[in-house]
Amino acid sequence: MKRDCVKNNLFLVLCLPHHFIIYQQMKKLIVLLLLPVLVIGQDFPKDIVFVKDLDLAKWNKIIARAVKEDKIIYMQYGFLENNSESLKKLKTIYNNQVILDYLNNHFICFFIPFKEFKNGYIDFSSHNFFLDSLMPVPTGGQGVPSYFFSKQGKHLHKRYPLPNNADEFLEDLQNVVNSKKNYYQMIEEFNNGNRDIEFFRNLLSTIHNSNETVDYYLKEFIKTRDNLFTKENGELIMHQYTKNVAFDYMYNNQDLWKKVISPDTLEKFYKGEISKQIAIRYYNPNIINPYDLIKLFEEKYPKYGKEESIKFLIRQLFNNDFKKPELYQSITNNIDSNIISKLTFSELNSYAWATFLNINDTTLLNKALSWSKKSLEQDKDNPMYLDTYANLLYKLGQTKEAIETETSALELVDEKEKKSYLETLDKMKQGKSTWNKQ
């Protein structure tokens, strides 16, 4: 089966079969224009149009076609680079036959390509005012937003970033066709006075998926509740991505919320939100000494601040952020038995191992040894925990006990991992380093 490539006075309409033939006389032109399609895959939606310089005249012709075929207009941003993650994702989604059929039956599809992708950001130097006003790009220029329009050219929906998989994309397409959870339609319904809780649930989710802040709408939800402090309202508020709006309403009214929501659920929420705040302050260049971070959040949130800031800093250690010596010192000076009790045994082992690999100070190594020992109290026959403990002993000069512990780990480890443990044991017996010396 063959489908022709038809060139009209608007732009080239590309109709792709499962296996298509590039005619020799058009080869140079076609290869150039098909580059994004060839990267994405052969099974690309029918009648894909590559729109490079969209203006009002071309847009009116697109609308005329949509009216004639009674279809929704779908415009997808994308990149031309072969290694683009967005193209890889599009390839997976569009090669799904169910997606392909649904798009062909309900949509006129357009692909707006970008030529460059610099330092994680889109280069919009070739954009024109009309295209940017019709399909504004998310702040910062990252990601590949999708836009949907009615056959009359009215905004229906937008989504950013791309769906994670074909099923999620199909659900989004079906919602557009069935006029459910469409961004622009829901905003209009909100402006017309809809304040129903189920509507708000869908609205907030849709706004988040469109890379817009939900703060204003969440405040409106809170303001319009006759009885705010119910389990249903609390769960809705806690599941929103906001700039502290949700946290402030929950944290500042703890006594009221704990009457309707379990303490464990509230504590998990509070800790998670405080951790986000800590991360923001940590990467603020004005925070020079990590101890200042611990002190700041301990004062701000007495019950959770110290614990969460130390746990956050430990994660930075595990991520090998050893360029700041004061970071490790601040953590070790502030870790107490209460903090240790809040860490999982896997975390204790991981942080002890990171210390072994990167630290030479004996005081700190002994601290890590105590963490490792505590993880073994929970799981004494775990070969990975034993290996960590053995290596710390060895680095601290306790060679005999280190060899005995590593031998025990070797006896317990799976066959496929024995080689690594044997190499470590041999180095210990030969007095060689089992770590990279600093």
By percentage, how much of the chain surpasses pLDDT 70?
Answer: 72
pLDDT at residue 329, as a whole number: 64
78 and 152 belong to one structural domain: yes
Half-sphere exposure of 406 (CA within 13 A, CB side): 26
Number of Cβ within 10 Å of residue 246's Cβ equals 22
pLDDT at residue 9, as a whole number: 26
Question: Is 1 part of a structural domain of the chain?
Answer: no
Which residues, listed in sequence order, are joined to residue 147 by a DSSP beta bridge?
A: 75, 158
Q: What is the pLDDT of residues 297-333, one digit of tens each?
A: 999 999 999 888 888 877 776 665 555 656 666 676 6
Alpha-carbon gap, residue 21 to 27, rounded angstroms: 10
Alpha-carbon gap, residue 294 to 311, rounded angstroms: 10
Q: What is the pLDDT of residues 29-48, one digit of tens each?
A: 333 333 333 233 333 455 56
42 and 89 belong to one structural domain: yes
The more confidently predicted of residues 134 and 222 is 222
Question: 398: which residues sit within 8 A by CB, 6+ positions away?
Answer: none
| Type of residue at 404 | E
On whether the CB atoms of residues 368 and 347 are closer than 8 A, the answer is no
Tokens at residue 388, please? 């960590």
pLDDT at residue 79, as a whole number: 61
Residue that is last in its domain, among 256, 289, 320 = 256
283 and 382 belong to one structural domain: no
Residue that is last in its domain, among 292, 319, 342 = 342
55 and 190 belong to one structural domain: no
Three-class secondary structure of residue 425 per DSSP: helix
CATH of the domain at 147: 3.40.30.10
Please state the φ and ψ torsions of residue 286, each to the nearest 5 degrees. Answer: -75, -15
Tokens at residue 360, please? 């030479």
On whether the CB atoms of residues 148 and 182 are closer than 8 A, the answer is yes
Peptide bond into 161 cis (omega under 30): yes
Does the pLDDT at position 287 exceed 80? Answer: no
Residue that is last in its domain, among 342, 377, 408 = 342
Question: Is 437 part of a structural domain of the chain?
Answer: yes
Once rounded to an integer, what is the mean pLDDT over residues 53-78? 86
pLDDT at residue 189, as a whole number: 93
CATH of the domain at 433: 1.25.40
Alpha-carbon gap, residue 141 to 409, rounded angstroms: 50
251 and 360 belong to one structural domain: no
User: b/e map of 134-166 (b: 16 or more CB within 10 Å)?
Assistant: bbebbeeeebbbbbbbbbeeebbbbbbbbbeeb
On whether the CB atoms of residues 409 and 353 are closer than 8 A, the answer is no
Q: What is the pLDDT of residues 89-114, one digit of tens each?
A: 777 787 788 888 898 899 988 877 76
209 and 291 belong to one structural domain: no
Does the pLDDT at position 156 exceed 80? Answer: yes
pLDDT at residue 200, as a whole number: 92
191 and 143 belong to one structural domain: no
Tokens at residue 260, please? 């309707």
Question: Is 422 part of a structural domain of the chain?
Answer: yes
Which residues, listed in sequence order, are joined to residue 113 by a DSSP beta bridge?
A: 78
Q: Look at 36-50, 283-297, 328-342 and tell me which has the smallest mean pLDDT.
A: 36-50
* Helices 166-177/97-106 angle, 10° precision: 20
41 and 171 belong to one structural domain: yes
Question: 419: which residues sit within 8 A by CB, 6+ positions away?
Answer: none
Q: What is the pLDDT of residues 204-246, one digit of tens each?
A: 888 888 878 888 999 999 999 999 999 999 999 998 777 678 9
156 and 302 belong to one structural domain: no
Question: 269: which residues sit within 8 A by CB, 6+ positions away?
Answer: 238, 247, 250
Alpha-carbon gap, residue 266 to 261, rounded angstroms: 7
Instruction: Count how many domains the chain has.
Output: 4
Tokens at residue 69, please? 């075929």
pLDDT band for position 385 (cuts 50, 70, 90): very high
For 94, the domain range is 6-178
